[in-house]
Amino acid sequence: MTAVVETVAAVREDLATRDGVLIAFSGGVDSGVVAALAHDALGDDAVACTAKSETLPAAELDDAVRVAEEIGIRHELVEFSELDSPEFVENDDQRCYHCRSMRLGAMYDRARELGIDVVCDGTNASDVGEGHRPGLRAVEELDAYSPLLEHDIGKAQVREIARRYDLSVADKPSMACLSSRIPTGLEVTAERLSRVEKAERLLRTWGFEQFRVRDHDGLARIAVGKAELEAALDPERPRGERTVEP
């Protein structure tokens, strides 16, 4: 038996001891793997839940719906607004903590409505060593369960497990929320979030896969992955209409 097969079996066995779980589900590879494992272990007693807010791009919500369908897991949506929080809008170096606290709080509210005691998230073992990650404090404070972290599963192994489940997001780059594109200290507003989303949607239509558009108070700074840099700098590359409305 290979190491990854043993790991998958251990996580499933762990989750099977729960009466039910609700997974904080973005539709990315980490939460996708947790949802697939939980669905295997618990069937209809596992629920994926996606938080819909201004910081979630519409394309990411579409991905979450699609990946939940691939897994066959029940999928719930909760809606809230981070912009209702003055601490979040202020956009200091704890913005991710405020955001994660609100998102997980909404997950726990829905879990209680469904009679579920355990909320899982997709934190993996690689996340812990990645520097300033205030969102992880929210996971700890709210006592969310992170099966990937608990079983010491890092990002490479997460992707391997995703391929075993034939998830379409197995090789999808990590996607931070839209507020991460706004420099610390500059207020997060609906206008700025919308502007970033429209610009990134345009880059996606041009065929780019790994990128960020950072909003420096109206000035867009575009970052692309190394593999796509040559294409981004090619003046002959056809890009179609380039206008992005504010």
Task: Tell whether 202 is covered by a domain.
Answer: yes
Together in a domain, 34 and 155: yes
Together in a domain, 158 and 196: no
96-122 pLDDT tens trace: 999 999 999 999 999 999 999 999 999
CATH number of the domain enclosing 128: 3.40.50.620
Residue 230: pLDDT band with limits 50, 70, 90? confident
188-206 pLDDT tens trace: 999 999 999 998 888 888 8
Secondary structure in 3-state letters for 82-109: HHHCHHHHHCCCCHHHHHHHHHHHHHHH
For residue 243, pLDDT beyond 50: no
Dihedral over alpha carbons 226, 232, 238, 241 (to 10 degrees): 120
Task: Tell whether 46 is covered by a domain.
Answer: yes
For residue 52, pLDDT beyond 80: yes
Together in a domain, 139 and 205: no
Task: Tell whether 142 is covered by a domain.
Answer: yes
Task: Tell whether 171 is covered by a domain.
Answer: no
Range of the domain at 218: 189-233
Residue 71: CB atoms within 10 A of its CB come to: 22
pLDDT of residue 149: 95
For residue 246, pLDDT beyond 60: no
Together in a domain, 74 and 160: yes
Together in a domain, 76 and 13: yes
Q: How far apart are the first and last CA of the chain?
A: 55
Together in a domain, 134 and 29: yes
The pTM assigned to this predicted structure is: 0.87
Task: Tell whether 245 is covered by a domain.
Answer: no
Together in a domain, 118 and 12: yes
Residue 241: pLDDT band with limits 50, 70, 90? very low
